[in-house]
Structure 1
Amino acid sequence: MTALQEQARHPAIRSGATAVVTGAASGIGLAAATRFAAEGMAVWLADLPGGALDAARETVSAAAPGGAAIRAVPTDVGDRAAVEALRDAVCAEGAPAIVMLNAGIEAGGKLFSDAETWHRILDTNLWGVINGLHAFAPAMIEAGEPGAIVVTGSKQGITTPPGNTPYNVSKAGVKAATEALAHDLRGRENGRVTAHLLIPGFVYTGLTKARGVAQKPEGAWTPEETVDFLLAGLARGDFYILCPDNETTRAQDEKRIAWAAGDIIENRPALSRWHPDFSEAFRRYTQG
């Protein structure tokens, strides 16, 4: 019996049902796909083609009980036709119970990065989510079975710190799109599909490694710890699944998020947390 079987679970997580995970070749996506497979779900892994996706399929297959189908489908989530082709392949065997739209990149963008960089980040992070929602949500709704759509957001899409602006914009858009999805789903009569926004903390993933961090920092969670927190949040029915980590508590996150919203309410300068005239006030606020 797995740890998940010993606790409450979202009804979408059930043996014999299907899960689709984008960005499944590494990090949180791979950890989630592995957990779904261990629960006896058929899992479709979507990511860019290459050795990482092939290796991920082997990893997930090793976790699956005998007979569970594990498939890896090279997919550029920014390409709507590719996402619709993935949807058609999956739904040929029935609508999925879980869709986790997790694919994401950073790509080192700045406010004045060239248009190609902006498009590359937004095409993957934002349009990849929109494409996935449009492709899979209607089929899941029509199926009338318990389902969950999980979208991986970011704290940077909420507090939008200076730098890495294209990434912040993409994740702010992801938050807005997923909130709209949740509102739509809960307004449907006899609706059985729920939406959830996963907001990871500091996680040691491929994005972290790409920044030259060779070993997991002490402050970071593993992808597996993040997925554990996700599954507990799904079981509770949480929409905002706001993850702490080994260096940031929930209380700290709450104050940072509240301060960001307070910029509008108090008519402070934009991003006042990093403004020299307000940095000390922010420090006192967070330590109070």
Structure 2
Amino acid sequence: MPHPAIAKDQVAVVTGGASGIGFAAAKRFLQAGMKVAIADLNADHLARAAELLAHVAGGGADDVLAKETDVAKPDQLEALRAAVTARFGDVDVVMNNAGIEPPSTALGPREAYERILSVNLWGVIHGSQIFAPDMIARGRPGLIINTGSKQGITTPPRNPAYNVSKAGVKAYTEALAHELRTTEGCAVTPHLLIPGFVFTALTARGRSEKPAGAWTAEQTVDFMLARLEDGDFYILCPDNDVPRSLDERRIAWAAGDIIDNRPALSRWHPAWADRFRAFVEGK
């Protein structure tokens, strides 16, 4: 059975909803009979996304709300919450999905860190803190889905600002899950979406065709919905190149750096490359 929060006439809010995983999620929620609000930054992209989504909504455009929102600014998320409740009523599902990925190194630029953290991490924190209290008070099943990344778990040596933001999303969502499950009468469950290689505007990097190894946003969302039915907190998505078994070995090796006191990010250290390869192969 689908998660009880995903049902006809329920209300979902999706940030970063004008494209990619957010748009695919909004589409699936509408196909389930829900009313959906999408939030994003570009008004033209939002309007086009809302137009496309209206075609799959049971109630047409009446079931879709699009609102330009910068998730880095809590007052704009407060305005989003007010607009959604005025239009549709109480919120059942919040998907804190908005994300950006400008380049960075460990030493800068500072502006990249500030912007990435304000959107990728603070956007998740703001969205959870602004929507969750009313959802909890209702005592009804609800969902908070926060979009993380495998880069926030294995932290590869590229774009560390992005890694830091997604590591923060993981830690925050874990803490939120513990807090809500120990809150009396709370029926809201948080979940951490951990996409694999997904072909979206964020990952295209100038490519117009999906690489063979990537999943589509729709595949990722369908996997997410299936795992939500089973109650998974960590929704670890594979793709066409990397099965779950390989992800598990990579994650275990990353944890082993601390346990075995190996060099930082030893998976990418030339002196440890052969040992990592043997570990992956189970030798």
SS in structure 2 at match of 1:99 = strand
Q: Where does residue 70 of structure 2 map in the other structure?
A: 76
Moved over 6 A (4+): none
Distance 2:104 2:66 in 1: 29
Which residue does the alignment assign to 2:83?
A: 89
- For 2:129 and 2:238, the matched residues in 1 are separated by 30
The residue number in structure 2 matching 1:22 is 15
TM-score, normalising length: structure 1:
0.95
Q: Aligned with 1:43: secondary structure?
A: strand
Alignment correspondent of 1:172: 167
The equivalent residue for 1:9 is: 2
Letter in 1 for 2:57: A
One-letter code of the match for 2:281?
Q
Q: SS where residue 20 of structure 1 aligns?
A: strand
Pairing 1:53–2:39 present: no
| Counterpart amino acid of residue 101 in structure 1 | N
Q: Does 1:120 align with 2:118?
A: no
Residue 27 of structure 2 is aligned to residue 43 of structure 1 = no
Q: How does 1:181-260 map to 2 (within 5 A)?
A: 181-209=176-204, 211-260=205-254
Instruction: After TM superposition, give the deviation of residue 111 of structure 1 in Å.
Output: 1.5
The C-alpha deviation readout for 1:86-107, integer Å capped at 9, x for no partner, is: 1122233432110000000101
2:129 is aligned to: 134
Q: Is 1:62 the equivalent of 2:83? A: no
Query: C-alpha displacement at 1:190, in angstroms?
Result: 2.5
Worse-matched range after superposition: 33-42 or 89-98: 89-98
Point out the more displaced range, 110-119 or 272-281: 110-119
CA apart distance, 1:276: 1.2
Match runs of 1:96-107 below 5 Å: 96-107=91-102
Once residues 190 and 132 of structure 1 are traced to their aligned partners in structure 2, the CA distance between those partners, rounded to angstroms, is 21
Taking the aligned partners of 1:115 and 1:264, their CA distance within structure 2 comes to 28
Q: What is the alpha-carbon root mean square deviation over aligned residues?
A: 1.0
Output the TM-score relative to the length of structure 2. Answer: 0.97
* Percent identity over paired residues: 59
Matched length: 280
Distance 2:111 2:151 in 1: 21
Rounded Cα–Cα distance in structure 1 between residues aligned with 2:48 and 2:24: 13
Do the aligned residues in 1 keep the contact of 2:65 with 2:84 (CA within 8 Å)? no
Q: Shift of residue 66 of structure 1?
A: 2.5
| Residue of structure 2 equivalent to 1:5 | none
Residue ranges of structure 1 left out of the alignment (5+ in a row): 1-7
93, 105, 108: which is aligned to 1:110?
A: 105
AA aligned opposite 1:147: G
Shift of 1:174: 0.3
| 1:84 CA drift (Å) | 1.1
Contact 2:39 2:69 (8 Å CA) reproduced: yes
Give the C-alpha shift of residue 149 in structure 1: 0.3
Which stretch of the first structure deviates more once superposed, 66-75 or 191-200? 66-75
| Deviation sequence 1:171-207 (CA, Å, 0-9, x none) | 0000001001100111122321111000000000111
Hey, what does 1:280 align to over in structure 2?
274
Tell me how far apart the structure 2 counterparts of residues 84 and 164 of structure 1 sit (CA, whole Å). 30
In structure 1, give the amino acid aligned to 2:47.
D
Distance 1:61 1:254 in 2: 39
When structure 1 is superposed on structure 2, of 266-275 and 111-120 the one drifting more is 111-120
Q: Distance in 2 between matches of 1:200 and 1:161?
A: 15
Shift of 1:287: 1.4
